[in-house]
Amino acid sequence: MTIAIRRILRAVILLTLVSPLSAQAQVPAPAKMPAGFVDAATVAEGLVVDMRYSGDDNFVGARIDGYEAARCLLTRPAASALARVQQDLAKQGFGLKVFDCYRPVRAVAHFVRWARDVKDVKRKADFYPDVDKRDLFRLGYISNRSGHSRGSTVDLTMVRLAPGQAPVEVDMGTRFDFFGVQSWPSSRAVGAEAQANRKVLAAAMRRGGFYPYDREWWHFTLRNEPYRDTYFDFVVK
């Protein structure tokens, strides 16, 4: 076999190996929500929706890329499980309030760009007063990928329900998305009431089929999520 033929064969083999990856990387994001997703508010009756990334009340201080509407989109199994948690908590006089649900990949990229701009610290006092912004990646507060993009992770809190009154958030010790050890579910740096409320929420979510994250009291993922290896990028609208 001549050297020229060997080179041609080698090139063909390399092209065969690389092409599927390239094709996969170039697949455009779907314009519409996939059939496997639903608006959780249409499934979980009474769910309070306060999507922080569709506005500017968040650690960036601006609307985040990919959020064009304040909707809590989740996979159908996650939304159904959340509805069961809502019913469970109602027996104790509580309900759920969601801050973030499905998160587009482009939103995660927005967080990464923001974190690399160390001069932008306009919301530092509210969200990360004790953390140097240069350490956000090292400490794990910002990552290049998020489980939220798989559609079965939700950030939420509890509200107290009373007849004829608007739902009121309970004390959880820190605000949502606070970067600090105080946000760890096991933290003793918060008051006794907040610790008790965190336990009630975590227990209800576990009974509903979710598991917690040990550094954020508000973060839960469906145990048997349907898209473990798929990160979606369709716009929330």
pLDDT in tens, 64-90: 999 999 999 999 999 999 999 999 999
The pLDDT tens digits of the residues spanning 164-189 come to 999 999 999 999 999 999 999 999 99
Give the Cβ contact number of residue 16 at 10 Å.
Answer: 9
Q: Which pLDDT does position 39 carry in this prediction?
A: 98
- Pairing verdict, β 48-49 and 94-100: parallel
pLDDT at 29: 57
Q: Out of 45, 68, 169, 216, which one is annotated catalytic?
A: 216
pTM: 0.87
Query: How much is the pLDDT for 31?
Result: 66
Angle at 70 between CA 222 and CA 83, to 5 degrees: 35
Domains and CATH numbers, the chain: 38-222 (3.30.1380.10)
Positions in the chain whose pLDDT score sits under 70: 1-31
- Residue 32 has a pLDDT of 83
98: alpha, beta or left, given left = phi > 0 and alpha = psi -120 to 50?
beta
Could you give the CA distance from residue 213 to residue 219 in angstroms, rounded to a whole number? 6
- Residue 10, CA atoms < 13 Å, CB-side half-sphere: 7
**Residue 216 annotated as catalytic:** yes
CB 99 within 8 A of CB 155: yes
Contact 169, 93 (CB under 8 A): no
Residues 159 and 167: beta-carbon distance below 8 Å: yes
